[in-house]
Structure 1
Amino acid sequence: MQRWLLLLMLCTAAAAQAAGQSVEPSVFRALNAAQAAQQQGDYAAARRALEAAKAKPDSLEQALLWRSRGYLAWAEGQNAKAIEWLGKAVSSGKLDAETQASEQLNLARLNLLEHRYALVVSLLAPQQAAASEEVLQMLVQAYQGMDQPAKALPLAERYVQGNPHAADRWLQFLVAVNADLKRYPAAERWQRQLLGRQPDRAQGWRQLAALQQLSGRHDKALATLRAAHSKGLRFNATELDNLVLLAGAAEQPWQGAKLLTGMLEQGLLPRTASREERLALLWWQARERAAAARIYRELAGRSGSAKHWLNLAQLEMEQARWQAGLDALAKAERAGAERSKVRAWRNWAESELSAEREKRMASAG
């Protein structure tokens, strides 16, 4: 780091002279003395040399002294001071165009280290049209720090489109931010590019399936998992269960139920009582009560669980199948269901059943 900082400030006055800017001899000597002292690690001597130098206000010499004091503070780890001095040099308007651009970049680096993201953007945004990879990375990081990922996206997309061999981290960023913004088709497109680079990485296939699931396309997610399986890639049960939970978290129970059904039918997941119960709950949440009741009926028949019989009773009643609900309630009661709960459900079902009979009798009469 120290060597890099020294290289940055090396030959400051000489560079100014090369650009046709003459430097007052006493300031030139002070800059060189400070540079030599800093190179030896004697920061105190470097500081004395710079503080002793006299420069006219609003002059090139003053800007060069500010610049050197900024790099000295940076070398000492005093980033806030470095920003102050280097900021003065950049704002002076006395540096030649090449040096000005270089110092703006270094000032942006310092502000990024200090999490001053708005200042990073103000310094680098004018360079967006012809930005280097580093500038784009800094802008992307700054926009993220400002919680403005949507502004970072076009910059990252532009870089990747102009650099087909961009590092994976750029594609991963595009996937993550698009997914956070619920732009699932765009996230899926970038995830496919990542998958093209690493086709034998199971995690990439799983992430693609998750994005397809989030976009409400359970059929595509299932096809993706099947394709990975046919390539010999394997997912552990927890990873596949999490895909189903993802649908619930995204308030897509119907999609989750279809995905889980497909995974169970095709052997991607072993069929267990807990997964069947989850499937029944997903169908229930999706208001597919007949499908949920069918699963709970099978579960209750195997387990004899009061909970399963009670859930079945409620599902039957929600479909106005009062007698079927009462039959399930009786079995729930025999299995040890809470009597007050059974009584409440029974009273409702019997009153509804009685009302239906009266209507039928009235119609017949």
Structure 2
Amino acid sequence: MYRLVLLIALCAAGAVQAADLTVDPAVFRALDSAQAAQKNADYSAAQRALDSVTGAPGSLEESLLWRSRAYLAWAQGQNAQAIELLDKVVQGGKLDAGLQAEERLNLARLNLIEQRYARVVALLAPQQASAGEEVLQMLVQAHQGLGQPAKALPLAERYVQANPSAADSWLQFLVAMNADLKRYAMAERWQRQLLARQPNEVKGWRQLAALQQLSGQHDKALATLRAAYQKGLRFSEGELDNLVLLAGAADQPWQGAKLLSGMLEQGLLPRTSAREERLGLLWWQARERQQAAQIYRELAARSGSAKHWLQLAQLELEQARWQAGLDALRHAERAGAERSKVRAWRNWAESEMSFQREKRVASAG
């Protein structure tokens, strides 16, 4: 979400000068030498310079030496050691307010690299009320890492509301987090803002339709797809098929059936046997058996498939349409359906028909 920058410019002598502090001359020279060697990637020379002096316990010199050693470790990729040393600097509190805040931020950066998310939050949370973009980004990422999207979300929303020209990545994050929390209306709101920035981006329209589909608004999703087509934008068949599959994955078969039906009727997707079979299955899953049966009846008549006839038979029998179901079973048997399955359904249907007749006779008596 952001770039980590290795900050060493204020290290050693530069830090002392910036803070206008008085330091033991020997320590000052060691810090200056270490900084120069580190800039030239001569880490051994930098280490020797720092090892040549010591600072009294609890002194400013001690904190500055810890600080230089921390940056030296960081430059060499020894992040755990850098965190340990920089933590001593922050806890010691010997630097002036400006440098102390900078070291706190650098310590948070290091902890974020090492995925020590709780420590990042502990370091940065006290300043989040007045935090800028980078600090908010770090807090958002840390809360995500801790599995706390509900805490990350308001921070991101606050930043975007205060910065209307915030990068697209912030809006994309808000869309994703709200969708993950099933706050589809809010996700749609942020997606519309993204779409306003990039109105000719097919991906944005598809994402908007997907969010509307997830919220159960198949009519809005279909209208979104139509609007994109009217703008001259085109989706691949796979993208449109995936929107239908999304409804099934979200346990919304009725919405999926309505969306697929609309896309087929309006020519957004070409009709194929596979899509019609999927439509029939979606209606069936949505317990709209009459509509499902109509689709399978047409499929079976065209394909002559034993599978389609058997599915139609089951649908008819589930609606207590006994004779229609038995007729479909005969077609299935002639088409080569497994005889044991046909026999099982026929025996069940005949048993149910007999039971219903006996009930009618008993009622009439």
Percent sequence identity over matched residues?
76
Q: Distance in 2 between matches of 1:99 and 1:359?
A: 90
The more displaced of 116-125 and 35-44 is 35-44
Q: Distance in 1 between matches of 2:7 and 2:360?
A: 93
- Which residue of the partner structure matches residue 187 of structure 1? 187
1:293 to partner: Cα distance: 0.6
Partner secondary structure for residue 8 of structure 2? helix
Question: Deviation digits for residues 314-338 of structure 1, max 9, x if unmatched?
Answer: 1111111111111111111111111
- Which residue of the partner structure matches residue 58 of structure 1? 58
Superposed, 1:208-287 pairs within 5 Å as: 208-287=208-287
Contact 1:323/1:353 (8 A) holds in 2 = no
- Structure 2 counterpart of 1:65, which letter? L
Against the structure 1 CA distance between its residues 88 and 259, is the aligned structure 2 distance closer, same or farther, given a 3 Å change threshold? same
Contact 2:6/2:75 (8 A) holds in 1 = no
Tell me if 1:25 matches 2:25.
yes
Against the structure 1 CA distance between its residues 246 and 59, is the aligned structure 2 distance closer, same or farther, given a 3 Å change threshold? same
What is the aligned counterpart of 2:14 among 11, 16, 25? Answer: 11
Contact 1:13/1:31 (8 A) holds in 2 = no
TM-score by length of 2: 0.95
- Structure 2 counterpart of 1:7, which letter? A
Q: Distance in 2 between matches of 1:75 and 1:267?
A: 60
The more displaced of 113-122 and 311-320 is 113-122
Partner secondary structure for residue 95 of structure 2? coil
1:363 to partner: Cα distance: 4.0
Tell me if 1:329 matches 2:329.
yes
Q: Distance in 2 between matches of 1:225 and 1:140?
A: 33
- Structure 1 counterpart of 2:254, which letter? W
The aligned length equals 361
Tell me if 1:338 matches 2:341.
no
1:172 to partner: Cα distance: 0.6
1:32 to partner: Cα distance: 1.6
Against the structure 1 CA distance between its residues 299 and 39, is the aligned structure 2 distance closer, same or farther, given a 3 Å change threshold? closer
- Structure 2 counterpart of 1:88, which letter? K
Question: Deviation digits for residues 17-37 of structure 1, max 9, x if unmatched?
Answer: x2xx43222222221222223
- Which residue of the partner structure matches residue 135 of structure 2? 135
Against the structure 1 CA distance between its residues 144 and 4, is the aligned structure 2 distance closer, same or farther, given a 3 Å change threshold? closer
Against the structure 1 CA distance between its residues 36 and 360, is the aligned structure 2 distance closer, same or farther, given a 3 Å change threshold? closer
- Structure 2 counterpart of 1:143, which letter? H
TM-score by length of 1: 0.95
The more displaced of 52-61 and 184-193 is 52-61
1:122 to partner: Cα distance: 1.1
Q: RMSD of the alignment, in Å?
A: 1.6
The more displaced of 244-253 and 77-86 is 77-86
Tell me if 1:82 matches 2:82.
yes
- Structure 1 counterpart of 2:170, which letter? W
Partner secondary structure for residue 41 of structure 1? coil
Question: Deviation digits for residues 50-92 of structure 1, max 9, x if unmatched?
Answer: 1221221111111111111111111222111111111111110
- Structure 1 counterpart of 2:291, which letter? A
Q: Distance in 2 between matches of 1:40 and 1:209?
A: 54
1:4 to partner: Cα distance: 5.4
The answer for unaligned runs of 5 or more in structure 1 is: none
Q: Distance in 2 between matches of 1:363 and 1:142?
A: 71
The answer for unaligned runs of 5 or more in structure 2 is: none
- Structure 2 counterpart of 1:103, which letter? E
Superposed, 1:347-358 pairs within 5 Å as: 347-358=347-358
Against the structure 1 CA distance between its residues 57 and 328, is the aligned structure 2 distance closer, same or farther, given a 3 Å change threshold? same
- Structure 2 counterpart of 1:208, which letter? L
- Structure 1 counterpart of 2:357, which letter? R
Contact 2:304/2:335 (8 A) holds in 1 = yes
1:225 to partner: Cα distance: 0.5
